A and B are shown apart, each in its own frame.
Chain A
């Protein structure tokens, strides 16, 4: 994944109070962050709230001149912590219906209606399986495959070694395969 160009300059501008610079951070990261928290939270509404809160917290942190080594890792860390707080407040979360999932299939004008329905059904199956994984497994899958981060970047966000991430990725894929009952391709 290509990092945001001139991130250090953007951070410097944010420290000076340049809110347009912060807008660039939002534009670049908000969809990925949303997807990351959406798959950890019960509803789309919760994902929206946590995403918005992540950016607000990030603004204040950067603007208060605190040191940030890496904006991407920093944003994901805030989001993870907010999700932990969310469940701490709410107790054991029950994964609610995923009928409100924010799937923008309408963009896929190349598909017929039947193909769109099949796609939606496949996605629901995969999403269900992903939500049943252990948290760490799910995080690695989402960050590496959906948000296209390298294993090194994933390791930095999760605070573990790259080797560890590699092992977790392998185990996560194995668990997902078991759940989805995939067959060997010939």
Chain B
């Protein structure tokens, strides 16, 4: 039995030859160390030695001896995390990882580092980090859009994946606001909510960029659907942020003037969207039924907006926000009706074109 066992064990030990490639090992080491060095500098730049010692003590019940050691031998956090010792390789590796695009070798390291950071910061920082990640996804989309060597189909697919990640980041922002807002002080919540409100407006504009004309119809349609999902997610985060701003105003988290400013801007955008919708349905040569339907909905949306503005004037912010959201819902359904009719019309046109082509060839459908 012992002899048999040795044979088995001998075979098992062959697998000790399984190792990572040396290139990967050293590159990962450099990237990891540079990532943590840069995070270390960022997080600890303003931490005093006293604060560091207090955190060290209060979290984990360390003894007086350790506390004394820390005071005597510890160095200020920002000095320890000085970048003086960073090797050139680590520096460039970090830059390369941070500037990598989907499909490139170091991209997975970049994403991994982002994920870890997001999961280990405080709740009020988490929303910030997720928005930073969303910003990076947008930047990557822009760079992919301008990429010289990728085909339109490849670009569409990669951008589609980035849009998914972007939607995920915004969903996390909303989730963080939902779960953490009751636990954090009103002023901090308002600050985060204000940032979310501002950022989601930028995202709406960025996501309205056109898709690639050269891509295959199926990929184009998929990308359009993903962009629509991303816009909806962004809108959900924006609505949550506004609701929090209204809620925290009563708790002193935000001033009346600031809140009035945010809401007035939202109303202004909603009115612009309403106007665009009305022009769009008129210019598109829409069917009578569609035009009537859209007009009804846009009239109702306009009514909601007017009522909302009256409430805003009376400083009844909660009602104003409700009316704004109802108006936006109405505009959204009207837009969906237009898109639906356009799709049917396009499909119809395509069938007719195919039929004509076949008739010309002399074949029967």
For B1-22 the 0/1 string (1 means CB < 8 A from A) is 1011111110111111111111
CB-CB under 8 A from B17, the residues of chain A are 103-105, 107-108, 119, 123
B184 close to chain A: CB less than 8 A: no
CB-CB under 8 A from A31, the residues of chain B are 19-20, 25
B284 close to chain A: CB less than 8 A: no
Contact B36 A57 (CB under 8 A): no
Contact B8 A17 (CB under 8 A): no
Q: When chains A and B are docked, how far (Å) is the Cα of A108 from the Cα of B16?
A: 12
User: Which residue from chain A places its CB closest to the CB of B3 in the assembled complex?
Assistant: A185
Contact A35 B32 (CB under 8 A): no
Contact B8 A146 (CB under 8 A): no
Closest beta carbon of chain B to A157's beta carbon, Å = 18
Contact A34 B37 (CB under 8 A): no
Contact B15 A130 (CB under 8 A): yes
CB-CB under 8 A from B74, the residues of chain A are 16
User: Which residue from chain A places its CB closest to the CB of B19 in the assembled complex?
Assistant: A104
Contact B12 A130 (CB under 8 A): yes
Contact B15 A19 (CB under 8 A): no
Contact A23 B29 (CB under 8 A): yes
Contact A145 B9 (CB under 8 A): yes
Contact B7 A17 (CB under 8 A): no
Closest beta carbon of chain A to B10's beta carbon, Å = 10
Closest beta carbon of chain A to B5's beta carbon, Å = 6
Contact B60 A67 (CB under 8 A): yes
Contact A126 B59 (CB under 8 A): no
Whether A173 contacts B9 in the complex (CB less than 8 A), given A52-B28, A56-B35, A56-B36, comes out as: yes
A97 close to chain B: CB less than 8 A: no
B55 close to chain A: CB less than 8 A: yes
Whether A59 contacts B36 in the complex (CB less than 8 A), given A16-B74, A127-B15, A130-B12, comes out as: yes
- Residue from the list B7, B13, B36, B85 in contact with A145, Cβ < 8 A: B13
Q: Report how many residues on chain B are interfacial, defined by Cβ distance under 8 Å.
A: 50
CB-CB under 8 A from B12, the residues of chain A are 126, 130, 141, 145-146, 176
Contact A176 B3 (CB under 8 A): no
Contact B15 A57 (CB under 8 A): no
User: Which residue from chain A places its CB closest to the CB of B44 in the assembled complex?
Assistant: A17
Interface size class of A (residues with CB under 8 A): 35 or more
CB-CB under 8 A from B1, the residues of chain A are 184
A60 close to chain B: CB less than 8 A: yes
CB-CB under 8 A from A20, the residues of chain B are 33, 85
Contact A176 B120 (CB under 8 A): no
Closest beta carbon of chain B to A27's beta carbon, Å = 7
Q: When chains A and B are docked, how far (Å) is the Cα of A17 from the Cα of B81?
A: 6
B222 close to chain A: CB less than 8 A: no
Whether A30 contacts B113 in the complex (CB less than 8 A), given A16-B74, A65-B55, A182-B4, comes out as: no
CB-CB under 8 A from B108, the residues of chain A are 45, 48-49, 52
For A21-39 the 0/1 string (1 means CB < 8 A from B) is 0110011001100110011
For A79-118 the 0/1 string (1 means CB < 8 A from B) is 0000000000000000000000111110110000000000
B195 close to chain A: CB less than 8 A: no
Whether A48 contacts B8 in the complex (CB less than 8 A), given A16-B74, A18-B80, A103-B17, comes out as: no
User: Which residue from chain B places its CB closest to the CB of A47 in the assembled complex?
Assistant: B20
Contact A56 B60 (CB under 8 A): no
Contact A126 B11 (CB under 8 A): yes
B56 close to chain A: CB less than 8 A: yes
Closest beta carbon of chain B to A167's beta carbon, Å = 15
Contact A65 B59 (CB under 8 A): yes
Closest beta carbon of chain B to A65's beta carbon, Å = 5
Q: When chains A and B are docked, how far (Å) is the Cα of A101 from the Cα of B56?
A: 43
Contact A23 B8 (CB under 8 A): no
A4 close to chain B: CB less than 8 A: no
A-B contact pairs, 20 of them (CB 8 A): A20-B85, A27-B29, A45-B108, A47-B20, A48-B28, A52-B32, A66-B59, A67-B60, A103-B19, A104-B21, A104-B22, A123-B14, A123-B15, A123-B18, A126-B11, A130-B15, A142-B15, A145-B13, A176-B12, A183-B4
Not counting A19-B81, A26-B33, A104-B17, a sample of 11 additional A-B residue pairs whose C-beta atoms are within 8 angstroms of each other reads A19-B85, A34-B19, A35-B15, A52-B109, A63-B36, A64-B120, A66-B59, A102-B18, A123-B18, A127-B18, A146-B13
